[in-house]
Amino acid sequence: MLSRDRLGCVWTAKIVLLFSLSSLSFIAVNHAQLDNHGFISIDCGYTESPKYTDDKTGITYVADLGFTDAGLIHPVYPENMQPDLAARYNNIRYFPNGTRNCYTIRSLTPGAKYLVRAIFGYGNYDTLNKLPIFDLYLGVNYWTTVRIVNSSTAYISETISVSPANYMQVCLVNKGSGTPFIAGLDLRFLQPNLYPNSTETQSLVLLSFFRTTVSFGSNRYHFGTDLRHIRFPDDRYDRIWQRYEEVPTWTIVPDAISGNVTNAPNDTYDAPSAVMRSVSTLVNSSTMDLYWNLDGSMSVDFNDKYFVVLYFAEVETLQQNEFRQFDVLLDNTTLANGFRPEQMTTTVLTGTVQGSGSHSISLVPDLNSKPPLISGMEIFLVRPLNESATDSGDATAMMTIQTKFSVKRNWAGDPCSPIAFAWVGLNCSYTPSAPSRITALYMSSSGLIGEIDPSFGQLTLLQHLDLSHNNLTGPIPDFLGQLPSLSFLDLSSNNLRGSIPNNLLQRSQIGVLTLRVDNNPNLCTNHNCDPIRNPRKRKAILIAEIMAPVAGAIIIVAVVLLIIWHKTKKRQGGARASNPFESRRFKYKELRVITDDFKNIIGKGGFGFVYSGKLEDGTPVAVKMRSQTSSQGNTEFLAEARHLAKAHHKNLVTLIGYCKDRKHLGLVYEYMGGGNLENWLKGKEGCHAEFNLTWLQRLKIALDSAYGLEYLHKSCSPPLIHRDVKTQNILLTSNLEAKIADFGLTRAFSSETKTHTTTRPAGTLGYLDPEYYNTSHLSEKSDVFSFGVVLLVLITGRPAIITVNNTERTNLAHWVRGRLSEGDIENVTDPRIKGNFDVNSLWTVAELALRCTEQAGKDRPTMSEVAEGLRESLQLETLSHSKRSGSIGTNGSALTETESVGALESEQIEETLPR
């Protein structure tokens, strides 16, 4: 009774000690899957119970369900294997399907160091008697090749590696030489200071080859009396130390001193005392040699590097006249000279050698020294970790998607890497030395059932997402609309309900997103849906839609201005010159507040996204952030655009401020609530019919724009040519005041010659001056030509390039000229303004437009003359319009569509006249 109780006490104390030790050592580490020693021990193919405890080691083994969902299991009969193997070898999991199959161990600590061990025993389980050869990968990096040479032998592969993410994957890759299989998998948490040669860029793979009289290939040896393996609990990390091979001239050092061998304070290998106390030496004092040699079972190559760790401690009491002193050589390199092992304290010597062939370790005693001794040895292969894995956020999201929807594809291991094993159904972007990112995901007809998982929203660089032809239910989530790069989303043929989130709808309507939602019977896709039922809201959405593409254009100018400003400021020594950049400097943090954390994307330009926002005082602004991936304009362009910094006019878009905060570059400019002119004239599918512009409004816009261009041509020194005048680059305020934007192609030209030869005519098809195109001679008359086309677009409501029939396209100027020569203006007039214009006013502008679009620049008017002509036309129209407005009221039925604008329009008539 008494003794049993006492035994119980001792055990309890030991367990408590183990617990407190481990909780101390792993204090900052969260390991949901690790046990309290920092271990995961998996018995692959074991199914009898969730776990069991090995009586010899006290280690608890868990079944492999939950670590992999691939493969089949099979028993291995112990009589077919070497004797005395652990129960783990009695069953295996094998992978007859797929090239790469993986185990995933989760809840690890990114950047933490682990010993990972995989064990294999073939035992002819499949009765094919075909010894398999396959590859092992740790995550995306090659680990080793498993070569089963003997059916009954146990094989162990081990590596010490830093985990790049919060999960680790061990993958078996079929090389076409037999079916990969595995008997067990271990993970052991190591203190971060251990094995400093295992880093984020290289791991240490324990060299595997069989010496005579050893049980396992792993080259981690003790040199004691005992033939047993030393492992947990003697080694707290459960490293397996096997007895080095028998050497006839060697003997064992009598351990005359009791007690433990301790580690030095700066030790980084934490050798267990059980290993250090068992020491080999020679019978007679001479050189002690250890060696290793390549054999066919290893997959090593000429460039491989070996990292050798040697452990020493003096465990004998030496007499007064005795000493033990020797040199330690690794091939021809001296690791230590006149080395004396410290009494009962571990000394570790390490070295690296390169190359195939044989290598040796020699312990050479000094004259009169006692024979050299050694306590432990490990030999590792140094493996570079040079493959970049998929971004861990993307990979985690994909694994969640796979699990949640029980995806039946052979998705295993890292989604993007190595390229040869990338998952089917996704596209990745590969950048050297950066994580791969998932850019497209094709999951059409994949049997997906349930709601769209938030994990899709975590694939933050996704451009293309196809979830069509599944059984997805629930609402379309908002987070899809927050994926900044998404340009294609197919949700058709599912069972989604509710309405389409505004952010998706907006992005679809401004043309940055192709959205397919058809064949979802419960999805509300028309304008009666809740979020857009309210006409006010709808108007806001519409304005945002129209606004967006424009904003991008403005930015280019603004970026240029900003850069110029910086240069100018430097040169002027900070003098406050009259430039537009006396404007405010924003911090990135402020921009986040202003834009409500970049919530509403209103446009996309070459430089990145444009977001809507509000300054502290409520002023609406458009905020353009330069994306990390965009490249800036070339220096030549920057130099020419320098002059723009001086351009200020109420009909040119204004920059309010900028942000240059670390790597963030952003610009804040006035919010052009009316969007761009092109969108107003396009009248998409008739659904924006109530926002049609009247002829009066069009004229006013034309005049504003003419003022903007006239200013560029006449008031800037040197004069500026815009070069890309078109309806898309004319932005409108919510009061329909027009401003010229996008000076991206603008050039300054010499005031002496008033012409400029450029290398390559630039501009937009349909608006491009033919004379400039043919001769490359640029003058302000090129802008006049383009502006003439803008006038024609305003008159006709047609695009600058007209499709005549299937094969023939012509430019608008040519088309209108032909029709007008027949004297019929009604024939070319935009049907949306029919019956609501003064015919003289319209003719004045049409004639002006034809003069502007003359072939020869000298025959075209100047912008000042154009502005003058438009002013006259506007006067005619305004007078006639106020006369007509009486009759408009009586003709209510025809005008229901334009009601909401009617009010706006009449308010503006007053402001129109005095100019």
* Binding site feature residues for ATP: 624
**In the complex, what is the shortest distance from the CB of residue 324 to ligand NAG, in angstroms, rounded to a whole number?**
17
Task: Return the SS3 of 685.
Answer: helix
End-to-end Cα, the chain, rounded Å = 112
Nearer to ligand NAG (CB atom), residue 463 or residue 651: 463
Helix axes 839-852, 780-796, angle to 10 degrees: 150
> 319: burial class by Cβ within 10 Å (0-12, 13-18, 19+)?
exposed
| Polymer length in residues for the chain | 915
Q: How far is the CB of 101 from ligand NAG (least distance, A)?
A: 22
Our finding on whether 283 is near ligand NAG (CB under 6 A) is yes
Half-sphere exposure of 604 (CA within 13 A, CB side): 13
| 718 cis-preceded (ω within 30 degrees of 0) | yes
Q: ∠ at Cα 823 (818, 824), nearest 5°?
A: 90
| Cβ closest to ligand NAG, residue 122 vs residue 306 | 306
Which residue, 206 or 652, is less far from ligand NAG as judged by CB? Answer: 206
Q: Whole-angstrom Cα distance, residue 148 to residue 152?
A: 9
Instruction: Give the shortest CB-419-to-ligand NAG separation in angstroms.
Output: 9
Which strands form 437-442's sheet, in the order they lie side by side? Answer: 426-429, 437-442, 464-466, 488-490, 514-516
Give the 3-state secondary structure of residue 504. helix
Of 64, 724, 783, 838, catalytic: 724
Q: How far lies 591's CA from each of 53, 201, 466, 611, 659, in Å?
A: 58, 37, 33, 10, 8
Residues 517 to 576 in contact with ligand NAG, rule: CB under 6 A = none
Whether the CB-CB separation of 753 and 777 falls below 8 Å is answered with no
Q: Which stretch binds ligand NAG (CB under 6 A): 25-33, 99-107, 384-392, 890-898?
A: 384-392
**CB 417, min distance to ligand NAG, A:** 9
Nearest approach, Cβ of residue 486 and ligand NAG (Å): 11
> What φ, ψ does residue 539 adopt, rounded to 5°?
-65, -40
- Considering the complex, state which of residue 387 and residue 865 has its C-beta at the smaller distance from ligand NAG: 387
Binding mask 65-104 for ligand NAG (x = CB under 6 A): ----------------------------------------
Residue 386 as a binder of ligand NAG (CB under 6 A): the answer is yes
Residue 92 corresponds to which amino acid?
I
For ligand NAG, the closer of residues 281 and 729 by Cβ is 281
Q: Return the residue of 196, 384, 447, 535 that touches ligand NAG, per CB under 6 A.
A: 384
Concatenate the DSSP letters of all residues of 266-323 into one string: T-SS---HHHHT--EEESSSS-EEEEE---TTS---TT-EEEEEEEE-B-SPPPTT--
**440 versus 524: smaller Cβ distance to ligand NAG:** 440
Query: Counting Cβ atoms within 10 Å, is residue 97 exposed (0-12), middle (13-18) or buried (19+)?
Result: exposed
Scored b (16 or more CB within 10 A) or e, 183-201 reads bbbbbbbbeeeebebbeee
Instruction: Choose one: 121-129, 237-245, 380-388, 573-581; the region binding ligand NAG (CB under 6 A).
Output: 380-388
**Measured distance CA(485)–CA(604) in Å, rounded:** 10
Q: Which two tokens stand for residue 317?
A: 């009491």
Window contacting ligand NAG (CB under 6 A); options: 381-389, 477-485, 525-533, 822-830: 381-389
- Closest contact distance (angstroms) between CB of 283 and ligand NAG is 4
- Beta strand 747-748 with 720-721 is antiparallel
491: tokens are: 């949700």
Reported in sequence order, the residue ranges of 642-719 that DSSP labels E, i.e. its strands, are: 655-661, 664-670, 675-676
DSSP-derived pairing of the beta strands 60-63 and 39-43:
parallel
Compute the least distance from the CB of residue 386 to ligand NAG, in Å: 4
CB 387 within 8 A of CB 402: no
Contact window for ligand NAG (CB under 6 A) among 26-34, 99-107, 349-357, 383-391: 383-391
Task: Give whichever of 386 and 445 is closer to ligand NAG, judged by the CB atom.
Answer: 386
Residues 243-282 contacting ligand NAG, CB under 6 A: 249
Binding residues: 624
Residue 464 engages ligand NAG in binding (rule: CB under 6 A): yes
Nearer to ligand NAG, 336 or 364 (CB): 364
Asked if residue 370 binds ligand NAG (CB under 6 A), the reply is: no
Q: Give me the least distance between CB of 462 and ligand NAG, in Å please.
A: 10
Taking residues 284 to 313 in sequence order and writing x for each that binds ligand NAG by CB under 6 A, - otherwise, the string is x-----------------------------
- Residues 267, 342, 366, 387: which binds ligand NAG (CB under 6 A)? 387
Interacting stretch for ligand NAG, rule CB under 6 A, among 255-263, 307-315, 382-390, 774-782?
Answer: 382-390
At its nearest, how many Å lie between ligand NAG and the CB of residue 292? Answer: 20
Q: Which residue has the tokens 């430039």?
A: 579
In this complex, which beta carbon is closest to ligand NAG, that of residue 248 or of residue 296? Answer: 248
Dihedrals phi, psi of 607, to nearest 5 degrees: -95, -15
Tell me the number of residues near ligand NAG by CB under 6 A: 10
724 is catalytic: yes
Among positions 73, 149, 294, 440, the unique one binding ligand NAG when judged by CB under 6 A:
440
Verify binding: residue 427, ligand NAG, rule CB under 6 A: yes
Query: Residues in the site for ligand NAG, rule: CB under 6 A?
Result: 249, 283-284, 384, 386-387, 427, 440, 463-464
Catalytic residues: 724
